[in-house]
Amino acid sequence: MSLTIGVTGGIASGKSTVARAFAALGIPWVDADDIAREVVEPGEPALAAIAERYGERLLDAQGRLNRRALREIVFADPEERRWLESQTHPRIRERLEARLAQMAAGPAPYHLLVSPLLFESGQVALVDRSLVIDAAEAEQIRRTASRDGVDEAQARAIVAAQLDRQARLARADDIIDNSGDEAALRRQVESLDRRYRRLAGASP
């Protein structure tokens, strides 16, 4: 039996870092953010719908999505965010299901679905266990502003648009505390790897 572990957490909580640590132990993963980028590539129906709704200003000279401009729209208006999700979420889910099926057919005892919106999007229905990567909101805001080149107000809006930290923790089957150093993070990953292998019926 190949288990699907859903990895989630607020923006800039360290989800990709954790996924890479599991990958170093031989565990494959798919990132919903990567799939989200795929479904708005040129030629995709979702991108055509976005351009029709907001105009060509949402496209760059190569016909690709101007992500920053779209982000400013949807994080300022919940109605627009809901419309965008109605265009992208079903397409993301369809592709995720296909990738998860491919990994389940492989040799690894378990695999990861990394998704910032695991609970909000309903993708939690695709997993056997949920793993929340936890970081203080102040740290998330600092990392987001630094990483994405946005100001603090927009970083706060992004964090506020996601599921409340305590609500996310309450729904977790497992939690990694990403407030320490890299060694502490790796130890937590190694401990969970042993647990997940046992649950999947594989030797640790």
**Is residue 1 very low, low, confident or very high in pLDDT (cuts 50, 70, 90)?**
low
Report the CATH number at residue 16.
3.40.50.300
pLDDT mean across residues, the chain? 90
What is the domain extent for residue 152?
A: 3-199
Domain count, the chain: 1
Confirm whether residue 26 is marked as ligand binding.
no
Q: Say if residue 53's pLDDT is above 70.
A: yes
SS3 10: coil
Residue 170 tokens, joined: 């309450």
Confirm whether residue 69 is marked as ligand binding.
no
Q: Say if residue 127's pLDDT is above 90.
A: yes
Mean pLDDT of 83-90: 93
| Whole-structure pTM value | 0.83
Domain contains 179: yes
Confirm whether residue 203 is marked as ligand binding.
no
**Is residue 141 very low, low, confident or very high in pLDDT (cuts 50, 70, 90)?**
confident
Q: Say if residue 204's pLDDT is above 60.
A: no
> What is the DSSP code string of 129-142?
EEEEEE--HHHHHH
**Is residue 147 very low, low, confident or very high in pLDDT (cuts 50, 70, 90)?**
confident
Confirm whether residue 121 is marked as ligand binding.
no
Per the CB < 8 A criterion, the answer to whether 194 and 110 are in contact is no
Domain contains 204: no
Q: Say if residue 181's pLDDT is above 90.
A: no
pLDDT in tens, 191-201: 999 999 999 99
For β-strands 29-31 and 3-8, DSSP reports them as unpaired
Confirm whether residue 14 is marked as ligand binding.
yes
Give the C-alpha separation, 137 to 104, whole Å. 34
Confirm whether residue 12 is marked as ligand binding.
yes
Residue bearing the bigger pLDDT, 150 or 51: 51
Cα separations in angstroms, 41 against 62, 83, 123: 11, 18, 22
pLDDT of residue 202: 66
pLDDT of residue 21: 97
pLDDT in tens, 19-40: 999 999 999 999 999 999 999 9
